[in-house]
A and B are shown apart, each in its own frame.
Chain A
Amino acid sequence: MEENDFDVVGKPMPRIDGVVKVTGTAIFADDLALPHMLHGKLLRSPYAHAKILHIDTSKAEKLPGVRAVITGKDFPGIVVGFMKQYADRPPIAIDKVRHYGETVAAVAAEDEDMAEEALRMIEVEYEELTPVLNWEEALREGAPLVHEKAKNNIGAACHFEYGDVEQAFKKCDYIREEKFVTQRVAIGFIEPHVALANIDGSGRILFQGSKQSPYITWRHLAWGLNMPLDKIRIINPYVGGAFSGKHEAFDLDFCAIRLCQKTGRPVKVVTTQDEVIGTYRQRHEKHIWLKMGMNKDGTLVATDCRVIADGGAYLSVAPLNLYLIGLFNALPFSIQNVRYDAKRAYTNLPVCGAVRGQAQVIAGYVFSSIISMMANDLGLDPVEVMLKNLVKEGEVLVSGSKVSSCGLEEAIRKVADTINWREKRVKKVPNRGLGFACGAQISGTRLGGHFASSAIVKIVEDGTVNLIHGGTELGQGCDTVFAQMVAEVLGLRFEDIHIEMEDSHDAILDSGMFGDRCTVWSGHAVIAAAEDAKRKVAKVAAEMLGAKEDDLIFKDRKIYVKNNPEKKIPFLTVVRQAQYGLGQLIYGHGSWGFPGSEIADFSQGHCEHFTPSFSFVAQAVELEVDPETGKVKLLNSVAADDCGQPINPLLVEGQLDGGSVHMIGQGLYEEALYNKSGQALTSSLRDYKLPTAMDVPKLTNYHVITHDPNGPFGAKGAGETSTTAIMAAIRNAVDDAIDVRITNPPFTPEKILKALKDKKEGK
């Protein structure tokens, strides 16, 4: 790690929320209880596709302790979605259910047992429809329609073409075509969805839930409940992980509020892991037909990529999802001739949206996989081929985005050296394999109208600082990072900065926590707010010191005059003078949006100001395959990321480990399965196989430090970048260990054994 000139930024500060979390005193949504609170429960459809003919709630309503029962009729005519143009989902089902577990009614009762008893008394008359359970069925001529409006079950599509793909394929030395399938997976956060709604006598709602982007939820709630925004206040307590699964307002959020309005009492709805894993947001199942052209020297020439995403019953953020695979054709590798075609099929399965790393996880997987295969075919070293084709700092991609900084070359060399790539590739141990891969990630983007981030810094009379920002602490560590930034700007100590829960009443909410945008976008806003406060403090200090404002240096809780360090005054003294002497309360505010930020045209591709920067990761994995059982044992992982200047290297390391382990799950163990009726088969943590601590190999991490010109203190996003390489590294290592072309994760023992058998039988 390079030394820098910062006092707090770039240092491995302990998490600001560490103590409350490890002592179990952090308050999460389900810890909250309000006086006279009722408990809400949702009735879910056991069918994947059915008409709702009639719902009789009369018996449930008569049960003692039951205070309200609602159905889709309590949300008349409302259709919501992630964005207005993609609205396709009622808050809860009205006339039709489109996936297993879709909510058809909700109750509020004095306790949870009464609420459940009431659910059992609700009589729903369904007319079963043939469910469409995979993309092939969905796109077949005459298939049952998931949505009447989507006549061919296609909810979104993309087509881009850059360069001259036909000509490029004709001229290149070697072409390989490969089909990849990446499976549907659940998200894997620890804290299930929770919603707590309260109402006051004026009808104003206070909503407290477990949400990832409270600003998005806030707007969705106003939309889905047909209420003015100012009638809803949203406070977000601590969140137990989200990984893009908690942006939208869901059935439970709408129902908690509607039940609260009906009863005039607080209503809390808490879901179980069983509901969350089997029913809520997942990652798309993707079928990818990839054709790649390469010259003999390893230069990438052209790619033709066709994707069909099996996405479930509603769109969520699917249009963005499709777009990103196209944009990442073939980041972090540079290709001038790109054709990309993608469709997203509606099916009668739970909804797929975004999951940590988004579609870049899939793009990273297929491109590093095929490059490795083709390099081996041509007798080249995959690492050399990757190095040869890297995007360069300053390069403008075919899609129009500019790579403002790139430290990936150094990252690749560091990883290859550490894992001893060159030597181990030659001296092979039977059934052991090495795999290498690279990935890339954006640092946030603009999705809709509002896209900026904002923050307020309030200087307290004791010389400490309260920071109000629009980011959301989900466990990723943004509160710690922001406290470091404020302390750095104001020359204070890390422990002088305090941050409370996001609250729509006084925080200027952010456009959301997604796509590795928090550190960059909200970080810039936090710095701007701190700079604003600093200017105000400096004005007072300059007068006290008899110096020019521009000559003041804030450091060690003191304010110094440049070139005259003997002339100084404590920060606290200046604050007191401002407040007590001059009657000035010092607030700083700031906001930031990426200059020129455009909303990408998801169907066409081109976008010059899509993201302020790209982060990168290189990763190598060493593993061993048991050739008799097919079981993979991971031995070693080495990764190096370029996320600009890490604000807190300890947290970036945690993200790199966390992202790697998360995707070990998708690489080796996880798959969300549904039976022939569309019912969940893997909705418990026993059957849905997230990796455990026992599955984690030795992880070695490095950070290559670049100073991105668009980043706060030169930082770029880190938390999702870490997910984009390891799946291909694992695949390539399996390939290296036992010489089989396996392309469809999870690489379970049974699949690997079958691949070995097929190879033996010459299939």
Chain B
Amino acid sequence: MEYPYVQRLPKFEYLTPRTLDEAIFMLSRHRGEARVIAGGTDLLHKMKRREETPRYLVGLKNIPRLDYIDYDESQGLRFGPLVTIHAIETSSFIRHKFPILSQAASSMASAQIRNLGTVVGNISSAVPSADMAPGLMVLGGKLKIANIKGERLIHVEDFFAGPSVSVLAPDELVVEVQVPNPPPNSGMVYIKHTIRAAMELAIVGVATMVAFQNGVCSEIKIALGAVAPTPIRANRAETVLKGRPFSTKLVKEASQTASDEARPISDIRASAEYRKEMIRILSERALNKAREEVK
């Protein structure tokens, strides 16, 4: 039986690349034996529990300028792998342009953890309750992934493969997050359901983004956290509303559909049944709230 208590960190070698290329080279050279560390808020805890025992940690902190946040009108938002959750939470233009990302960031953990943890780290850990995922998914966010052979771009929603499993190969690294501009006349919101008011993992997380043209819902995305093996899109729920005007009845129907699409588990935080119920309730609230936010 695995010793059930937290232990001290296992032995590892800490590598300090000076450039991204060097970091990628190290991951390739030590393929399968190395893990990337940025804030370390997930990884170090897993190592103390012996859920991960990498021989090498590739630290990104000595690589200059990985904490950039760039924006231009045509390309949208781009930010680097060392951008902390706190930086997203407190950026005034992100709050203005991409409010769902600030909402998700500010809902997470404690100020201390938000100061250390990175958005890319939150995504890369690929836990079903990753708070940054649903918001990035409804915005159509992409991840630039690099390995020694080159780079590829994938949608955030295609990144996850299971609980704590992603499509990221052991020699790959997420080097940038790209978020296109939201469509005109759109509104977005992230609702996180928890027991306490702070320091919580989501029981259910619901992100919605809606856009309207001539009173008709021209674009809609719904993403759910903590209710399936990965963060998921509620595609069928979206089709209920897409191309139609919002009505109370349709919003309720879409919310019920989102609930039907989820595959939650029962754990110490909530039962599967309760989670299903909460998706219905919170999807309805999130859709109505996003509708109100349309500008």
Task: Judge if B198 is at the interface, Cβ distance under 8 Å.
Answer: yes
A449-B268 Cα distance, complex, nearest whole Å: 44
Q: How far is the CB of A269 from chain B (nearest CB, A)?
A: 14
A-contacting 9-mer, from B84-92, B189-197, B237-245: B189-197
Task: Judge if B161 is at the interface, Cβ distance under 8 Å.
Answer: no
Task: Judge if A272 is at the interface, Cβ distance under 8 Å.
Answer: yes
Once the chains bind, are A116 and B8 in contact (CB under 8 Å)? yes
Once the chains bind, are B281 and A694 in contact (CB under 8 Å)? no
Query: For B198, what are the chain A residues with a Cβ–Cβ distance below 8 Å?
Result: 692-695
A679-B281 Cα distance, complex, nearest whole Å: 34
Task: Judge if B38 is at the interface, Cβ distance under 8 Å.
Answer: no
A691 with B274, Cβ < 8 A, contacts A44-B5, A112-B8, A274-B6 known: no
Once the chains bind, are A687 and B268 in contact (CB under 8 Å)? yes
A750 with B7, Cβ < 8 A, contacts A694-B198, A695-B198 known: no
Residue of B nearest to A746 (CB): B195
Task: Judge if B292 is at the interface, Cβ distance under 8 Å.
Answer: no
B7, B11, B270, B281 interface centre (most CB from chain A within 10 Å): B7
A692 with B4, Cβ < 8 A, contacts A681-B268, A750-B270 known: no
* B1-54 with Cβ < 8 A to chain A: 1-8, 11
Once the chains bind, are B196 and A669 in contact (CB under 8 Å)? yes
A687-B278 Cα distance, complex, nearest whole Å: 20
* B170-200 with Cβ < 8 A to chain A: 193, 195-199
A673-B1 Cα distance, complex, nearest whole Å: 20
A46 with B4, Cβ < 8 A, contacts A681-B268, A692-B199, A695-B198 known: yes
Query: For A100, what are the chain B residues with a Cβ–Cβ distance below 8 Å?
Result: 4
A753 with B274, Cβ < 8 A, contacts A694-B197, A694-B198 known: yes
Task: Judge if B277 is at the interface, Cβ distance under 8 Å.
Answer: yes
Once the chains bind, are A748 and B196 in contact (CB under 8 Å)? no
Query: For A748, what are the chain B residues with a Cβ–Cβ distance below 8 Å?
Result: 195
Task: Judge if A689 is at the interface, Cβ distance under 8 Å.
Answer: yes
Query: For A673, what are the chain B residues with a Cβ–Cβ distance below 8 Å?
Result: 268
A629-B268 Cα distance, complex, nearest whole Å: 17
Partner of B197, one of A113, A274, A685, A695: A695
Once the chains bind, are A689 and B196 in contact (CB under 8 Å)? yes
Query: For B5, what are the chain A residues with a Cβ–Cβ distance below 8 Å?
Result: 44, 101, 272, 274-275
Size band of the B side of the interface?
A: 20 to 34
Task: Judge if A5 is at the interface, Cβ distance under 8 Å.
Answer: no
Once the chains bind, are B199 and A686 in contact (CB under 8 Å)? yes
Query: For B268, what are the chain A residues with a Cβ–Cβ distance below 8 Å?
Result: 673, 681-682, 687
Query: For B199, what are the chain A residues with a Cβ–Cβ distance below 8 Å?
Result: 685-686, 692
Query: For B6, what are the chain A residues with a Cβ–Cβ distance below 8 Å?
Result: 272, 274, 684
Task: Judge if B287 is at the interface, Cβ distance under 8 Å.
Answer: no
A694 with B270, Cβ < 8 A, contacts A274-B5, A275-B5 known: no
Q: How far is the CB of A118 from chain B (nearest CB, A)?
A: 12
Task: Judge if B271 is at the interface, Cβ distance under 8 Å.
Answer: yes
Query: For A668, what are the chain B residues with a Cβ–Cβ distance below 8 Å?
Result: 195
Task: Judge if A680 is at the interface, Cβ distance under 8 Å.
Answer: yes
The digit string for A109-122, where 1 denotes a CB below 8 A from any CB of B, is 00011001001100
Partner of A691, one of B11, B196, B270: B196
A748-B271 Cα distance, complex, nearest whole Å: 12
Task: Judge if B224 is at the interface, Cβ distance under 8 Å.
Answer: no
Once the chains bind, are A629 and B196 in contact (CB under 8 Å)? no
Query: For B4, what are the chain A residues with a Cβ–Cβ distance below 8 Å?
Result: 46, 100, 679-680
Task: Judge if B201 is at the interface, Cβ distance under 8 Å.
Answer: yes
A687-B6 Cα distance, complex, nearest whole Å: 14
A185-B2 Cα distance, complex, nearest whole Å: 25
B1, B195, B281 interface centre (most CB from chain A within 10 Å): B195
Query: For A116, what are the chain B residues with a Cβ–Cβ distance below 8 Å?
Result: 7-8
Once the chains bind, are A629 and B193 in contact (CB under 8 Å)? yes
The digit string for B82-121, where 1 denotes a CB below 8 A from any CB of A, is 0000000000000000000000000000000000000000
Partner of A113, one of B8, B193, B201, B274: B8
* A385-411 with Cβ < 8 A to chain B: none
Query: For A101, what are the chain B residues with a Cβ–Cβ distance below 8 Å?
Result: 5
A631-B204 Cα distance, complex, nearest whole Å: 13
Residue of A nearest to B280 (CB): A628
Once the chains bind, are A629 and B201 in contact (CB under 8 Å)? no
Query: For A694, what are the chain B residues with a Cβ–Cβ distance below 8 Å?
Result: 196-198
Task: Judge if A593 is at the interface, Cβ distance under 8 Å.
Answer: no
In terms of DSSP, what is the predominant structure of the interface of chain B?
loop
Q: How far is the CB of A322 from chain B (nearest CB, A)?
A: 29
Q: How far is the CB of B21 from chain A (nearest CB, A)?
A: 34
A682-B195 Cα distance, complex, nearest whole Å: 14
A691-B11 Cα distance, complex, nearest whole Å: 35
A679-B1 Cα distance, complex, nearest whole Å: 12
The digit string for B265-281, where 1 denotes a CB below 8 A from any CB of A, is 00010110010011001
Task: Judge if A749 is at the interface, Cβ distance under 8 Å.
Answer: yes
A750 with B274, Cβ < 8 A, contacts A116-B7, A686-B199, A692-B199 known: yes
A687-B11 Cα distance, complex, nearest whole Å: 27
A682-B278 Cα distance, complex, nearest whole Å: 23
Q: How far is the CB of A276 from chain B (nearest CB, A)?
A: 11
Residue of A nearest to B9 (CB): A113
Once the chains bind, are B274 and A669 in contact (CB under 8 Å)? no
Once the chains bind, are A753 and B277 in contact (CB under 8 Å)? yes
Q: How far is the CB of B137 from chain A (nearest CB, A)?
A: 23
A47-B2 Cα distance, complex, nearest whole Å: 11
A692 with B277, Cβ < 8 A, contacts A116-B8, A272-B6 known: no
Query: For B201, what are the chain A residues with a Cβ–Cβ distance below 8 Å?
Result: 686
Once the chains bind, are B196 and A692 in contact (CB under 8 Å)? yes
A684-B5 Cα distance, complex, nearest whole Å: 10
Residue of B nearest to A100 (CB): B4
A113-B10 Cα distance, complex, nearest whole Å: 8
Q: How far is the CB of A219 from chain B (nearest CB, A)?
A: 30
Partner of A629, one of B1, B7, B11, B278: B278
Once the chains bind, are B7 and A749 in contact (CB under 8 Å)? no
A120 with B195, Cβ < 8 A, contacts A113-B8, A628-B281, A750-B271 known: no
Query: For A679, what are the chain B residues with a Cβ–Cβ distance below 8 Å?
Result: 4
Once the chains bind, are A749 and B3 in contact (CB under 8 Å)? no
The digit string for B256-294, where 1 denotes a CB below 8 A from any CB of A, is 000000000000101100100110011000000000000
Q: How far is the CB of B5 from chain A (nearest CB, A)?
A: 6
A116-B3 Cα distance, complex, nearest whole Å: 11
A46 with B196, Cβ < 8 A, contacts A628-B281, A681-B268, A753-B277 known: no
A662-B186 Cα distance, complex, nearest whole Å: 44
Q: How far is the CB of B252 from chain A (nearest CB, A)?
A: 12
A382-B198 Cα distance, complex, nearest whole Å: 34
Residue of A nearest to B270 (CB): A750
Query: For B195, what are the chain A residues with a Cβ–Cβ distance below 8 Å?
Result: 631, 668-669, 689, 748-749
Once the chains bind, are B281 and A46 in contact (CB under 8 Å)? no
The digit string for A671-704, where 1 denotes a CB below 8 A from any CB of B, is 0010000011110111101011111000000000
Residue of B nearest to A682 (CB): B268
Once the chains bind, are B8 and A46 in contact (CB under 8 Å)? no
The digit string for A30-57, where 1 denotes a CB below 8 A from any CB of B, is 0000000000000010110000000000
The digit string for A720-763, where 1 denotes a CB below 8 A from any CB of B, is 00000000000000000000000000001110010000000000
Query: For A274, what are the chain B residues with a Cβ–Cβ distance below 8 Å?
Result: 5-6
Query: For B1, what are the chain A residues with a Cβ–Cβ distance below 8 Å?
Result: 46-47
Q: How far is the CB of B275 from chain A (nearest CB, A)?
A: 9
Once the chains bind, are A692 and B197 in contact (CB under 8 Å)? yes
Partner of A46, one of B3, B277, B278: B3
Query: For A669, what are the chain B residues with a Cβ–Cβ distance below 8 Å?
Result: 195-196
A-B contact pairs, 18 of them (CB 8 A): A44-B5, A46-B1, A47-B1, A113-B11, A274-B5, A628-B281, A629-B193, A629-B278, A629-B282, A668-B195, A669-B196, A681-B268, A682-B268, A686-B201, A689-B196, A691-B196, A748-B195, A753-B274
- Beyond A46-B4, A100-B4, A686-B201, 8 additional pairs, beta carbon < 8 A: A44-B5, A113-B8, A116-B8, A275-B5, A668-B195, A681-B268, A689-B195, A695-B198
The 5 A-B residue pairs with the shortest CB-CB distance in the complex, in nearest-first order: A694-B197, A694-B198, A274-B6, A750-B274, A628-B281
